């Protein structure tokens, strides 16, 4: 079935596993490592084939991947399992008991959050996905391929070639993750809205301060221009009045963000006040707001007619 699905246009790789990750499902294994105690609530036990690791982008850190001739007597563990049970030693070649069956560790793979996005990466044991009555088929699509357009061909292939198998549903991995972060995305949207309102009010306030400063200093600017001051120099003096509150406000905002970072992590998934993906857009938004707030007052300042301004004074 997996090989036939891999032949569909728009499909790069197809892998099989016991269930889709990030759906809340988990199988906690009974395990014994070496002469250690038997753990009833041990690591996750998960069934997968070799192609599933490639589909999910999970790297092989040590050892080898599953082969077609492999049976239930071999297993792959993740890095968290190797660190937890073997410390600095290599786990490859070691034997463990999983559900009272002796298996040999043939490889160590990277870690992955199995059940949901909020849990820490836990130790896990992967065994060969063979002979199971229920399985998750995970497909990696080619760039530009549409999941919605591919759903029809997948269902037709299943109905025509494998009438004995029932396709339960088709979901995108992104949708599974988004379903778990509804609260975080709602808080982020509300925070973004109020942040945009605050930024707009700050921009209006900066505009008012600069416009008042230009009107108050019209005579001074007229005298400077009458004595030969260039428009760029006049504009620079006006902009310098903007930079003080802008820089002070930005520094205070980032300091407050760092102070509130620990509390925000409970509302915004893995939010960090030192993340470049957060800081750079904020700085860009502040810079654009400052430019827009200063554009009209600076334009008025450089267009002052010295003779007319001094006559009116």
Q: Per-residue pLDDT tens for 276-297?
A: 777 788 888 888 888 888 777 7
Mean pLDDT over residues 250-264, rounded?
76
Confidence at residue 197, expressed as pLDDT on a 0 to 100 scale:
92
Mean pLDDT over residues 120-135, rounded?
75
Q: Give percent of the chain above pLDDT 90.
A: 2
The mean pLDDT value of the chain amounts to 80
pLDDT one-digit tens code per residue, 27-71: 777 788 877 777 777 788 888 888 888 888 899 988 899 888 888
Q: Which residue has the higher pLDDT, 231 or 93?
A: 93
Residues 203-207: contacts with CB within 8 Å, 24+ apart?
203/289, 203/290, 203/292, 203/293, 204/293, 206/242, 206/245, 206/246, 206/289, 206/290, 206/293, 206/294, 207/292, 207/293, 207/294, 207/296, 207/297
């Amino acid at each position: 079935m997996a090989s036939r699905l891999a032949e569909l246009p728009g499909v790069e790789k197809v892998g099989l596993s016991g269930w889709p990750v990030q759906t809340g499902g988990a199988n906690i294994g009974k395990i014994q490592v070496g002469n250690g105690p038997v753990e009833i609530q041990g690591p996750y036990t998960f069934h997968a084939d070799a192609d599933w690791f490639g589909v999910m982008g999970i790297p092989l850190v040590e050892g080898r991947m599953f082969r077609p001739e492999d049976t239930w007597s071999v297993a792959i563990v993740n890095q968290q399992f190797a660190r937890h049970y073997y410390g600095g030693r290599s786990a490859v070649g070691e034997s463990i008991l999983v559900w009272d069956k002796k298996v040999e560790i043939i490889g160590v793979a990277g870690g992955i959050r199995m059940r949901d996005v909020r849990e820490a990466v836990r130790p896990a044991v992967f065994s060969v996905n063979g002979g199971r009555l229920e399985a998750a088929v995970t497909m990696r699509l080619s760039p530009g391929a549409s999941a919605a357009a591919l759903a029809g061909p997948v269902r037709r292939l299943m109905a025509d070639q494998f009438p004995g198998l029932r396709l339960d549903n088709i979901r995108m991995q992104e949708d599974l993750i988004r379903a778990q972060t509804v609260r975080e995305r709602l808080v982020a949207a509300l925070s973004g809205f109020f942040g945009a309102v605050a930024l707009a009010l700050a921009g209006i306030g900066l505009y008012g301060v600069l416009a008042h400063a230009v009107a108050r200093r019209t005579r001074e600017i007229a005298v400077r221009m009458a004595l030969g001051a260039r428009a760029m120099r006049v504009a620079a003096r006006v902009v310098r009045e903007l930079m003080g509150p802008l820089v002070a406000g930005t520094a205070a905002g980032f300091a407050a963000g760092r102070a509130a970072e620990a509390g925000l992590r409970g509302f915004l998934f893995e939010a960090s006040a030192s993340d470049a993906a957060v800081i750079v857009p904020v700085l860009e938004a502040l810079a654009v707001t400052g430019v827009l707030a200063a554009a009209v007052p600076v334009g008025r300042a450089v267009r002052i007619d010295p003779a007319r301004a001094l006559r009116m004074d």
